[in-house]
Amino acid sequence: MSGAPAAIVVPRARMTLLASCLGMLTLGANGTAIMAALPTMRHDLGLDAAQLEWAINAYLIVSAACIIPGGKACDQFGARRVAMTGLALFAIASIVVATAQLPFVLLAGRALQGLAAALAVPGTLAAISEANDPERRASAIGAWAGFLMLGFSLGPLIGGALTHYLDWRVIFWASGATMLVAAAGFLVGGNGGVAATARHVGRFDWAGFVLLAIFMTALVSALHALPAATSAPLSLAGYALLAAASFIALLKLERSIEAPLIDLGLFKEAAFVRAVALGSIAMSCILALLLFYNLDAQSPNGLSLTPVGAGLSLLPMSGGLLIFAFSAPSLVRRFGPRRALSLSMLLIAVAGVVIAVVVPLQMWVPLIVGLFAIGVGLALPYATAPRLALATLPATSAGAGSGIINACTFLGGSIGVAGGAVGFALGGLPAVMGLIAAVALIGVWLCRELTAEL
């Protein structure tokens, strides 16, 4: 009789893994598919430039602010419940976006998607960790990350094809339906053979959460206000002061309470900070590239491509990103983190300059080579930096560290979109690519302090 429960555990663990991977595939694809659809969405919904950027940033900022509470919710309510709630909420939010007729409804739906992602990402990861024994856990987590990366890579083509041949709303209808299937998988899979992990974790730091959200929103709003700094300086100054004040208040609060939202002690480890910064730089470059490349590629004054044409032209970047993300661990082991990540950041900078030069000339061969090269360069820090950051921490700080890493990555993406908007307003896609190249050089400088070996 003792073998019967074990026989049940494995199928349930597999169902939990399948549901989690399906959710992450959809989450990744949705996050980048919208980039190919945004020019059409802008026309259909009458989005102005600020609303266009907030269609991305509403998702990113809410995710960044809520991902740490999402991880804490897994401890308090159980990973399976949090994962199922996040997946179902993402389905509801996708329907809100799919039916949006006004800009504010679109932005509300995107913010709700961000909240859902902040629950689904830590929830599914913790659920598969609980559902699998130590022998299977590493491969299960690898599959979870791989499907997220696969969706992220295929998103531009999926979004372009659906927008061109059907309608941009189909992207979100499909996302909603798939997320419901994933949520149902958790119901079918039960607890994956383990008992619920819900437990009391103490009083939640609501004041810290509010201050963190205010800081992130004010910081990104200040960046959005930069292009109009000469005509509306008070707006820029107001957002900048609010960002500074909320940040200072957050630091004081987190140092003074017993159970802070953010463990500031983690930032005393310089290697942790450098690794987190590298991951944030990678995300900022990826999202800035995807958004503003699509805006330029689908513009009559740019490459004049259809949505599906823009998605196809990004396949070299997606291919480089996907292939080298999976091979990143072996490359880092072979060459060491310092050398591997320094070369990848340098490759981003060089490819950014190449793309900036050849896009106005519509030189397709060097453009394709540049897109592939920048995908290769982005893959290593995107896939490796979180692991390097966690490697600097003791096992007891892994949960808190993971929440900070994810929050900083989402915030980095939002800063990339906002900063890219400044460059796009000043000099179009070439200016955006120049900005990406400059940020990548900062990454090269950060890499010099990494250890030579992992």
Residue that the structure tokens 């513009």 belong to:
299
Hey, what are 65's tokens? 């602010």
Section 379-393 average pLDDT: 81
86-126 pLDDT, tens digit each: 999 999 999 999 999 999 999 999 999 999 999 998 888 88
What kind of fold does domain 1-203 have according to CATH?
Growth Hormone; Chain: A; (1.20.1250)
DSSP string across 170-199? HHHHHHHHHHHHHHHHHHHHTTTTS-----
Q: What are phi and psi of 361, to 5 degrees?
A: -90, -5
Hey, what are 55's tokens? 């269609």
13 burial type by CB count under 10 A (0-12 exposed, 13-18 middle, 19+ buried): buried
423 burial type by CB count under 10 A (0-12 exposed, 13-18 middle, 19+ buried): buried
pLDDT at site 10: 55
Q: Which of 122, 118, 133, 120 is nearest to 14 (CA)?
A: 133
What kind of fold does domain 268-454 have according to CATH?
Growth Hormone; Chain: A; (1.20.1250)
CA distance 113 to 129: 24
- Domain limits, the chain: 1-203, 205-260, 268-454
CA distance 89 to 70: 13
Hey, what are 4's tokens? 């019967």
Q: Let me know: does 149 contact 31? Beta carbons within 8 Å.
A: no
Q: Let me know: does 108 contact 44? Beta carbons within 8 Å.
A: no
Dihedral (Cα; 112, 113, 118, 119), 10-degree rounding: 80
What pTM was computed for the model? 0.84
CA distance 17 to 405: 23
Indicate the helix (H) or strand (E) that contains 451: none
271-311 pLDDT, tens digit each: 888 988 998 999 899 889 988 998 899 988 888 889 889 88
CA distance 337 to 2: 46
Q: Let me know: does 59 contact 183? Beta carbons within 8 Å.
A: no
pLDDT at site 390: 76
Inform me whether the pLDDT recorded for 413 exceeds 80. yes
Same fold, 1-203 and 268-454: yes
Q: Let me know: does 97 contact 172? Beta carbons within 8 Å.
A: yes
Q: What are phi and psi of 198, to 5 degrees?
A: -60, 135
Inform me whether the pLDDT recorded for 180 exceeds 70. yes
pLDDT at site 192: 45
CA distance 295 to 433: 13
**Which amino acid would we find at residue 339?**
R
Inform me whether the pLDDT recorded for 372 exceeds 80. yes
Q: How big is the CA angle at 78 (ends 172 and 204), to the nearest 5 degrees? A: 95
Inform me whether the pLDDT recorded for 329 exceeds 70. yes
